[in-house]
């Protein structure tokens, strides 16, 4: 990729995270990227939809890294989950509730209106569930329990971001973190 394409993708990700897909215009994106207007269509001949799909898929791959950041060997599972949600609180506070997850933001907007982007968000969520499941089995959970916990973690985190941003409160993130940690405790206590 060229520097210009990278800047357009980064600007798109940032603007979609803050204002959503529908609320972000291509002119805003190229201005934020410091790129000529025509460069968007040079790199993304499919226009905003192609850019949106690439942003969703690229951001999704980057966010998988959070599992490796928090679910590390030597860390207790409950403590790792608590740290995961504490980082969500930090993000909310540091961005004054302006940033959430670009995947969820786009998914909420396009689930019934844009099949290309709906499929991209579904693929990303599926990849997160698969990655989370794999990492959580390292803590001794059977695959079915690890998948349950991965889905609980992702849905709780995404929902907490939505509520926290709307309410301008970190309470939903704290409550979600406690709830998912409780699910982890229960699953860890179950016999194999």
Residue in 91, 50, 81 with CA at minimum distance from that of residue 179? 81
CB contact at 8 A, 99 and 171: no
Q: Are 16 and 55 in contact (CB under 8 A)?
A: yes
Q: What is the largest CA-CA distance in the chain?
A: 60
Question: Stretch 136-142: mean pLDDT, rounded?
Answer: 94
Say which residue, 1 or 146, is predicted with more confidence. Answer: 146
Contacts of 63 (CB under 8 A, 6+ apart): 101, 103, 124, 128
Judge whether residue 1 has pLDDT over 60: no
Domain boundaries, the chain: 48-189
| Terminal alpha carbon distance of the chain | 47
Mean of the per-residue pLDDT values for the chain? 92
pTM: 0.89
The domain made up of 48-189 has a fold known as: Tetracycline Repressor; domain 2 (1.10.357)
Calculate what percentage of the chain has a pLDDT beyond 90: 77
The reported pLDDT for the residue numbered 74 is 84
CA 6 – CA 176 distance, rounded (Å): 34
Q: Which of 99, 95, 118, 81 shows the shortest CA–CA distance to 161?
A: 99
- pLDDT of 51 > 70? The answer is yes
With residue 111 as reference, give the H or E element that holds it: none
Nearest to 100 by CA among 8, 10, 14: 14
């Amino acid at each position: 990729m060229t520097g210009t394409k990278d800047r357009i993708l980064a600007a798109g990700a940032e603007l979609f995270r803050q204002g959503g897909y529908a609320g972000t215009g291509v002119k805003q994106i190229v201005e934020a990227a410091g790129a000529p207007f025509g460069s968007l269509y040079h790199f993304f001949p499919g226009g905003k939809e192609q850019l949106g799909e690439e942003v969703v898929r690229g951001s999704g791959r980057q966010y998988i890294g959070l599992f490796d950041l928090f679910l590390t060997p030597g860390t207790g599972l409950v403590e790792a989950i608590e740290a995961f949600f504490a980082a969500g609180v930090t993000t909310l506070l540091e961005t004054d509730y302006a940033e959430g997850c670009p995947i969820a933001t786009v998914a909420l907007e396009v689930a019934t209106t844009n099949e290309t982007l709906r499929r991209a968000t579904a693929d990303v969520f599926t990849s997160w569930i698969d990655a989370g499941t794999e990492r959580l089995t390292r803590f001794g959970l059977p695959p079915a329990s690890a998948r349950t916990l991965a889905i609980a973690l992702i849905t709780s985190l995404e929902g907490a971001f939505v509520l926290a941003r709307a309410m301008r409160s970190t309470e939903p993130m704290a409550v979600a973190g406690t709830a998912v940690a409780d699910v982890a405790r229960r699953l860890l206590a179950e016999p194999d």
